[in-house]
Amino acid sequence: MRLLNTRTLAFKQFFGRRPPYAILSHTWDGEEVSHQDVRDQIPSLQSKQGYRKLQESCRIAAEQRLEWAWVDTCCIDKANNAELTESINSMFRWYQQAAACFVYLSDLPATGELKTNLPNCRWFRRGWTLQELLAPEKVQFYDKDWDLRGTKDGLIVKLESITGIPANILTGHASIRQISIADRMSWAANRQTTRPEDVAYCLLGIFDVNLPMIYGEGENAFRRLQEEIIRKSNDMTIFAWQKSNKHVTSSLGSTTPHRSGSPLLATSPDDFTRQNKNETISILSIRNAAMSASINPEYIVTNKGLRITSSLLRLTQEDIGEPDQGLHYFLGLGEIKPRFSPPGQRGRMMGITLNKNGPDFFVRRNCPLRVLSEPEGSVLLTTCRRSFYIQLDDTATQPLNITSPVDAIAFPLQRLTTTTDPRAPEKITVWPGRARPESHWDETRRLFFLSNKRLLVLAISAFAIFQDGTRVELLMLVDQRAKRPAVQLFLQEKEAELYEWFLGRTEASDIHYWEQLPGELWRKASPWPGSQVEVVVGGGRRYVMSAWIQETDDPEAAALHQVVFRAERAGGVTDEIRAKL
């Protein structure tokens, strides 16, 4: 660390242990004094606008019996990239270890009320000054004439109001590491830096990470910052951001669903802007039973996306406060509660909704964060804890657009009606039920994603409910071995052993292949392009139900294939039940 002698203005390099020193925090104005200017004592040194900052900082430091001072404009040789990288990565620690920090507010008038003028100072809107407020224990604020106007301890109420940072964090009575990543990011929202890369570099110390400096990479620096935070922490609130231009109904909510996908990582700290500064986001708590599915997850950034081992909640629109029907996959990120809530108070679950875009592959929905309107004592269904991927951004191999048809088979998504006899209409409702393997089943859109592993068996149950209340459970097995997928249909009550083999087990991660089937089951399960079963309902009425898979030519469809059902009664008229896409 290169320090400046407060009396001679001469540099001295210190390695290891350093003497007590003062440190300057300011916003750059006009001509600042560089390292080369001071080292070479150029003739125009004292005429530069920034020279007075150097003089006054050293004068005040000397008056406080500090022999050494550090000023960022001249104590870093910015022509030396290695030194610049080391300095930026060490900056938070240098401010933290300073004996005193002098904050020079060049736009704070020497007269007038501090309460009115202080919030308007540019210093509170710059990126680098955030860590310069947080790190030092002793901070002194000076106006444009270098008159002392207060200290951090004395101005703590005003500083908390201006920055939204809790007083106990500003004073150092609580560790910054106790604060969630989302809350720390929100402190940096709407702050500016001259270089786009510095949006990320100025936050290194706040998140206790290190990065090499690559000026010229632009916004990619903020992505690298997030990836490094992910590497060191499993605080899921790093994904708790939303674009500020979204239409929200509350601090964290939306009335408008978005069909397209969204990157998982934020593009800047501005995405963490908090609508309500009196709310705080904390990590998931074991006290909230609904959150236990996502507590302490394991995740890592890969070339396919974020690989995470966790559980997902399966929510209806009602659970997330939307009026229409439907299911969503929901990943809990944290809990939201009032900032001044009592210790131990249970917060509301907050997170993001996901669309399934392939086997064990999800895309974040392009909509704001969700806060669950969970009724007390309600039970939220969860998927089994498993490893899956979430797409990071649009540079990945799979597109973010989730509206075009995918290589999957669509099953009925709602109640369907068929008429088998004009003289005696019979209503039959078909509901998809349990499906395996869960990795390939999208419950929200009732899709089975086809696999490149052609020997994989896709199994799903379906319930046929007749007008008189008779309920029949069917088993459908999908065979991908041929060029066109085929389906075999069975009655659950007649083929209980086959049903138990595919769907009776509790582990949704069970995966079955055709060659693994025992001989007798293999002969029963071998499918053909269409298959049928006979169903007997009340009054001895007999129906033949059949099913097959056909391609869809609808560009608005969710899948490239669909299941077609047919129900026929002896002497009746045949009608089809088709998947509604």
Pairing between β-strand 361-365 and β-strand 386-390 as defined by DSSP bridges: parallel
Can you give the C-alpha Rg of the chain in angstroms? 32
| pLDDT at residue 489 greater than cutoff 60 | yes
Q: What percent of the chain has pLDDT over 70?
A: 82
> Cα–chain-centroid distance for residue 459?
32
| Average pLDDT taken over every residue of the chain | 83
Tokens, residue 567 = 């129900």
User: CA 181 to CA 234: how far, in whole Å?
Assistant: 10
Closest CA to 103 of 29, 23, 35: 23
Interval 412-429 mean pLDDT: 59
Cβ atoms of 101 and 168 closer than 8 Å: no
| pLDDT at residue 416 greater than cutoff 60 | no
- 119 cis-preceded (ω within 30 degrees of 0): no
| pLDDT at residue 205 greater than cutoff 50 | yes
Q: Which amino acid is at 91?
A: M
pLDDT tier for residue 132 given thresholds of 50, 70 and 90: very high
pTM of the model: 0.85
Closest CA to 458 of 413, 407, 514: 514
- Residue 321 burial class via C-beta count within 10 angstroms: exposed 0-12, middle 13-18, buried 19 and up: middle
- Count the Cβ atoms, other than its own, within 10 Å of residue 544: 14
Among 105-109, 136-140, 147-151, 401-405, the range scoring the smallest mean pLDDT is 401-405
pLDDT tens per residue, range 511-560 = 788 777 777 777 766 655 557 888 887 777 788 888 888 888 777 777 88
- Count the Cβ atoms, other than its own, within 10 Å of residue 302: 10
**Residues with Cβ within 8 Å of residue 5, at least 6 apart in sequence:** 11, 12, 58, 67, 68
User: CA 165 to CA 184: how far, in whole Å?
Assistant: 9
The enclosing H or E element of 255 equals: none
pLDDT tens per residue, range 48-60 = 989 999 999 999 9
Interval 237-262 mean pLDDT: 58
Tokens, residue 411 = 């099953």
Among 68-82, 89-103, 453-467, the range scoring the smallest mean pLDDT is 453-467
The more confident residue out of 175 and 412 is 175
pLDDT tier for residue 247 given thresholds of 50, 70 and 90: very low
Pairing between β-strand 100-104 and β-strand 21-25 as defined by DSSP bridges: parallel
User: CA 538 to CA 245: how far, in whole Å?
Assistant: 57
Among 11-25, 142-156, 479-493, the range scoring the smallest mean pLDDT is 479-493
Write the DSSP symbol of residue 211: -
The more confident residue out of 534 and 256 is 534
Distances (CA, A) of 177 to 56, 152, 307: 34, 20, 25
First to last CA, the chain: 65
Interval 238-260 mean pLDDT: 54
| pLDDT at residue 293 greater than cutoff 60 | no
Tokens, residue 135 = 């790190």
The more confident residue out of 19 and 329 is 19
| pLDDT at residue 420 greater than cutoff 90 | no
pLDDT tier for residue 93 given thresholds of 50, 70 and 90: very high
| pLDDT at residue 40 greater than cutoff 50 | yes
What pLDDT is attached to residue 509? 53
Q: Which amino acid is at 570?
A: A
pLDDT tier for residue 201 given thresholds of 50, 70 and 90: very high
Interval 190-200 mean pLDDT: 96
| pLDDT at residue 116 greater than cutoff 90 | yes
Which string of DSSP letters, residue by residue, matches 170-202? HTTSS-GGGS-HHHHHHHHTT-B-SSTTHHHHT
Alpha-helix residue ranges (DSSP H) falling in 11-79 = 35-40, 51-63, 72-75
Q: What percent of the chain has pLDDT over 90?
A: 44
Tokens, residue 388 = 């899956």
User: CA 549 to CA 574: how far, in whole Å?
Assistant: 18
Q: Is 327 helix (H, G, I), strand (E, B) or coil?
A: strand
User: CA 542 to CA 533: how far, in whole Å?
Assistant: 10
- Count the Cβ atoms, other than its own, within 10 Å of residue 39: 13
Interval 309-322 mean pLDDT: 69
User: CA 474 to CA 463: how far, in whole Å?
Assistant: 6
- Residue 164 burial class via C-beta count within 10 angstroms: exposed 0-12, middle 13-18, buried 19 and up: middle
pLDDT tier for residue 260 given thresholds of 50, 70 and 90: low
Cβ atoms of 290 and 372 closer than 8 Å: yes
